[in-house]
Amino acid sequence: MRRTILLMATMALTLLVASGVALAAPRTVEPDTLTPPPPPGAECKQTGNFLICQTFFDEEPLVNEPVFELSCGTVYETSNIHREGIRWYSSEGLLLRRFVTEDVQGTWSLSPTGEGPTVAFFAHDNWTDVYAIPGDEESVSTTYHGNSFTAMAPGYGVLFHIAGQDLPDGTHHGAGGAFFIDEEGNVEPEADAALCEALQP
């Protein structure tokens, strides 16, 4: 009789623990209900005080696409960009914080078929977005870390290298500094000369 009671008590305890685990399991949230919504394919769950989304994004690969002009000709790019991220939303579904890691690999050539000398480039970086006003993209401040950009060519070594930390106020700490192409797509004269020398036969 005592053995039967012990067995029943054990089974009841097991059921209570199992139901507790089930109750504690994160609840799936529909991404389209969040502001702003995460990229397609995101997995979002309710976890405690936050809604957390795991995201990924692959840009459409470029294959010998014209990207910018040098004094010696048009530069054609072949590249891949992959990003993974975590987003934290408030219980009301408003974005509070976002962390993204990025991997970039590619090559440049003066040939529309990718032939001839090439310059290889890559980036392995991450950034954190913090929203002063939850859900408001205009209120975001961003901090960057890592290897933002490195370009190199056989026989020339590293042509450009930008790495370290970039703060929301625009301050850069680390190697390099401003990117060699401005917002209008103009290449700095020194960068133009270095790339033309490396890319021409």
Per-residue pLDDT tens for 90-125?
Answer: 999 999 999 999 999 999 999 999 999 999 999 999
Distance from first CA to last CA of the chain, Å, rounded? 92
Judged against a pLDDT cut of 70, whether residue 4 lies above it is answered with no
CA atoms of 136 and 132, how far apart (whole Å):
8
Report strand pairing: 73-89 vs 50-58: antiparallel
Provide the pLDDT for residue 3. Answer: 45
| pLDDT band at residue 24 under the 50/70/90 scheme | low
**Three-state SS at 191:** helix
Mean per-residue pLDDT over the chain, rounded:
89
Provide the pLDDT for residue 129. Answer: 98
% of residues, the chain, pLDDT over 70: 87
DSSP state of 137: G
For residue 109, the cross-strand partners are 76, 118
Residue range 30-60, pLDDT digits in tens: 999 999 999 999 999 998 889 999 999 999 9
Judged against a pLDDT cut of 80, whether residue 148 lies above it is answered with yes
Residue-range definition of the domain harbouring residue 43: 2-199
For the residues 4-10, what does the mean pLDDT come to? 44
Provide the pLDDT for residue 191. Answer: 92
Reported as half-sphere exposure (CB side, CA atoms, 13 A), residue 90 has a value of: 13
The domain total for the chain is 1
Judged against a pLDDT cut of 60, whether residue 13 lies above it is answered with no
Provide the pLDDT for residue 6. Answer: 40
**In the block, residue with structure tokens 């990229």:** 39
What are the two backbone dihedrals, phi and then psi, of residue 87, each rounded to the nearest 5 degrees? Answer: -120, 135
Judged against a pLDDT cut of 80, whether residue 68 lies above it is answered with yes
CA torsion angle for 167, 52, 83, 59 (degrees, to 10)? Answer: -120
Structure tokens at 11: 């089974």
Structure tokens at 189: 């004269």
Provide the pLDDT for residue 180. Answer: 84
Give residue 173's identity as a one-letter amino acid code: H
